[in-house]
């Protein structure tokens, strides 16, 4: 982290200016663009820097629906709130059901596209997350993209949970839009990117400047972009991504093993096809919030539901769509700074916290 922090202190020029400071910063921004593009398997010109995954999602939704106005949007209720909310604001939404593991069925997507076409209004856009942000289930993205290509519908992939954790070749995938968030892969918060398919031009969501080749107005977040590039470069080192993925899987497997030693604890989502760094469990007999508070008192930071729903009292729409209890989920993730001691601390604290809470209810 020291290298990009040190570099960002001197990146004070405006990259849109022709003076020396501006040109130096422009070179730094373009280097970061190349680093991010290399991680994702695309060309640098396809990468549009944003303020994070939420802006990228909104930009994709806006661009697709402006290019094909009046058409519907196809998505599943397990999508992130930024996907659901931006789509609801942009037009009519056609829902797609998921199974109990939170997995999207490509056949259901195709059926939705056929139905909208028969109704005389072909869908403008299909959203398909790379992996679910609450339970970690990896989605059949490739199959969904192929369905969309057959029906000439734009497809947006929310890859915030998969980028930097699973090998990705987005150019080969062929999605029209892909959203990525820097902090999800070890970079700084408040920075992200929207990857746009080669040859595709859509209206920008943020206007008021010609930055990012006139695809996103506003002065770029230079320190954040430098950090994003540095994190991406680290993950493209030979064997680095595979190593971190294996370590994350080993630790989340240990977390699952520790959690399921407690009676009436169920793993939610797909245990086999999931992202390596996230697991979700349902704890019977107690609600999630007191479990989280008990773990917090033991120095363990966990969450219930989506990482973006902390201020919402409503049950998780993701878990409701899966048909499971939406009020007893515990979301547990590991990152580059997680150690085996952290996992052991959870294994010690979790049974004790749950037992104490169940005893109080009894």
249, 349, 359: which is closest to 292 by C-alpha? Answer: 349
H/E element, 329: strand 329-333
H/E element, 125: strand 125-129
115, 24, 12, 123: which is closest to 64 by C-alpha? Answer: 123
DSSP state for residue 246 in the 8-state scheme: H
Give the torsion sign (CA, 223, 5, 34, 36).
negative
Q: What are phi and psi of 288, to 5 degrees?
A: -70, -40
Residue 185's alpha-carbon distances to 27, 50, 209, 287, in angstroms, are: 23, 15, 29, 30
Q: Report the alpha-carbon distance of residue 356 to residue 348 in Å, rounded.
A: 13
Active site residue 308: yes
88, 16, 86: which is closest to 55 by C-alpha? Answer: 86
Residues 6+ positions from 67 with CB-CB distance below 8 Å: 124, 154, 202, 203
Kindly name the residue from 128, 148, 280, 308 that is annotated as catalytic. Answer: 308
Residues 6+ positions from 79 with CB-CB distance below 8 Å: 127, 129, 158
Beta 192-196 vs 265-268: how paired, if at all?
A: unpaired
Residue 271's alpha-carbon distances to 101, 125, 162, 253, 260, in angstroms, are: 9, 29, 16, 9, 13
Active site residues: 308
């Amino acid at each position: 982290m020291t290298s990009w922090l040190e570099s960002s202190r001197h990146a004070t020029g405006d990259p849109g200016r022709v003076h020396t400071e501006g040109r130096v910063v422009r070179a730094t921004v373009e280097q970061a663009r190349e680093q991010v593009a290399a991680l994702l398997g695309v060309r640098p010109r396809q990468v549009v820097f944003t303020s994070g995954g939420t802006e990228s999602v909104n930009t994709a939704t806006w661009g697709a629906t402006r290019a094909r106005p009046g058409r519907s949007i196809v998505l599943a209720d397990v999508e992130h709130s930024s996907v659901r909310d931006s789509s609801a604001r942009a037009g009519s939404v056609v829902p797609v059901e998921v199974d109990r593991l939170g997995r999207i069925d490509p056949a259901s997507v195709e059926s939705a596209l056929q139905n909208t076409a028969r109704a005389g209004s072909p869908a403008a856009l299909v959203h398909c997350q790379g992996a679910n942000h609450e339970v970690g289930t990896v989605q059949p993205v490739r199959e969904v993209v192929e369905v969309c290509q057959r029906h000439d519908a734009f497809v947006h992939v929310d890859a915030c949970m998969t980028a930097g954790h699973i090998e990705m070749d987005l150019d080969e995938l062929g999605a029209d839009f892909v959203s990525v968030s820097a902090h999800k892969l070890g970079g700084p918060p408040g920075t992200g990117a929207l990857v746009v398919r080669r040859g595709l031009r859509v209206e920008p969501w943020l206007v008021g400047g010609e930055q990012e080749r006139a695809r996103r107005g506003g002065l770029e977040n230079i320190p954040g972009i430098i950090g994003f590039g540095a994190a991406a470069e680290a993950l493209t080192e030979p064997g680095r991504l595979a190593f971190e993925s294996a370590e994350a899987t080993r630790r989340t497997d240990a977390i699952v093993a520790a959690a399921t030693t407690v009676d009436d604890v169920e793993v939610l989502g797909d245990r086999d096809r999931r992202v390596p760094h996230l697991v979700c469990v349902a704890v019977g007999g107690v609600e999630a919030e007191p479990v989280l508070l008990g773990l917090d008192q033991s120095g363990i930071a966990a969450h219930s539901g989506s990482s973006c729903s902390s201020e919402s009292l409503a049950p998780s729409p993701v878990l409701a769509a899966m048909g499971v209890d939406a009020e007893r989920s515990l979301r547990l993730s590991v990152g580059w700074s997680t150690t085996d001691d952290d996992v052991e601390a959870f294994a010690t604290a979790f049974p004790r916290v749950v037992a104490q809470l169940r005893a109080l209810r009894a």
